[in-house]
Structure 1
Amino acid sequence: MKAFLRSFFFLLFIFPLNLLAQDPLPSWNEGATKQSIIDFVKAVTTEGSADFVPIPERIAIFDNDGTLWSEQPLYFQFLFAVDQVKVLAPKHPEWKTKEPFKSVLAGSMKGALAGGEKSLLAIMMATHAGMTTDVFNASVKEWIESAQHPKFKKLYTECVFQPMLEVLTYLRANGFKTFIVSGGDIDFMRVWAERVYGIPPEQIVGTKMKLKYQVVDGVPSLLRTPALSLLDDKEGKPVGIHEHIGRIPIAAFGNSDGDFQMLEYTTSASGKRLGLIVHHDDADREFAYDRQSKIGTLNKGLDEGPKRGWIIISMKNDWKKIFSFE
């Protein structure tokens, strides 16, 4: 009888505690969203299941800005570009009187962006082209190791979403290969993504500058020219996925209408599929924005996503914590 009671209490108390300790997504609140991720992984990894997917085909893709880390008040890469204008200004005295650089140097972001896409493109090309990949990578590394988010006063690489880091780890533990598919510059992300997300350079799909091979003083290098070979946003994302990955993913995570075609491409294929959209609805812990925002606009995705079976992740309701530093 005593042996039976010991076994009973072990099952009643110890076994559930062990299950709790093995929770693969501890920063997620219990509920339908969290369970949908777990159910999907179980379905595609259980041999004999009608939804079983062989390991080589277990591809999951993630947008970066707004999906894996914050993107407000401005895209972090653009904030890098703004800081680079200040660094490069001594070599360009004409910028003191030339927009949008004049406004950037004066600290007026409103003035810098007044010219719309033309101004944005001018800033990006001035700070992202005309240099070798080694020089560009070094400037990104220096910036990412010291620049801080204006609201959180943390390094930008600390402003990553803890629940999404757990998803990345969980998927990889179950045979998935995880890719970033982002509108951001591919080289900008490659500098730090492996350290922060565990995603190596060869598993990053992003916007690409046209490169030119050159040999200077006997040393070969790649020059970043002021032209794009791929704009990896909206319709460009499926193109980038096909060119870089060569397989249609079975799971896609995004946060804005810029990710719509990526999710559509992923979830329209045959077999078990998973599409999720991170909805920024927590103004207290992060930011709250969607339809009217110029950064990370989420309009079409909110309306059509649920109709297509995509899951809308509520940061406010689905995540126990957003950042590891909370």
Structure 2
Amino acid sequence: MNQPKVVVTRRIPLQAMELIRPHATIFLWDKEEEPIPQNVLLQEARDAVAIYTNVADKIDREIIEAAPQLKVVSTMAVGYDNIDIAAATARGIAVGHTPGVLTETTADLTFALLMATARRVAEGHDFVKAGKWASWAPMLLTGQDIYGATIGIIGLGRIGEAVARRAAGFGMNILYYNRNPRPEVEAELGARYVELEALLRQSDYVVLLAPGGGGTYRLMGAREFGLMKPNAIFINTSRGTNVDETALYDALKNGSIWAAGLDVFDVEPVPLHHPLLSLPNVTVLPHIGSASIATRTRMAVMAAQNLVAGLMDEVLPHVVNPQVYEK
């Protein structure tokens, strides 16, 4: 009997592939640094029963409607705004994701990016490697203090809470803005809920950790950056779409804010000619928030477990749209 076809859109850890292999014939896009072209994904999805995807792939209505046999879409990510959930649900297609597993790893990266931006680590690295270090100088590459400063966290979900825990270890004053207050976090860490405008005005570090989607699209724009302190630092490890990048560039260029650390961009990979890349006070990373070996491997295995459950007509362990099981 022919095995069902699974499309795997990127090379993944062997442990995850070995979970899928006994249950399916696998089409693998094996180019490590290149996303699968949308036309290739569309063609391969036509006779697929499952798609193993990631944040770089667009699983839109066209893909879903072109795949009459599709039963499950499993993404190796927590977020799923690249997937048309409504279209999948209407077709009875279960969508799986990988929540929880990357919380601490992403919080580590967020705080590392905050520290690197504040203390100009990337600039210092380039300065030494370019042979510019001639002597010690009193104000050479001076940055901003972290200990005792005020951090404002926009989005106090799991990752936001983990960042707050790290900030508490640095003796920081913790402000947060969230859909709902988190009294348990306030009691544990001394965090204080404030409205967004107050957070922006008072914070030395503004850390954006809100989810992507319509409600947070361009959440940070010209008005918001204009409210921040001139010595404030902006950190984004959430979604690039949450930020008006032109407004951010203007704020950094004209000195409205001091610096920014960015792991995510509106368009990824970020084009080399992007204005933000021209600024010395911007520290950039290639969307590696969860990129530790252990965490990415766990994510890959979780996504494979979701996919195999879907192939076996079982409830996905981590399902985005449980409504599909109500029919």
Which has more helix, going by share of residues?
1
Question: Normalization by structure 2: what TM-score?
Answer: 0.32
Question: Normalization by structure 1: what TM-score?
Answer: 0.32
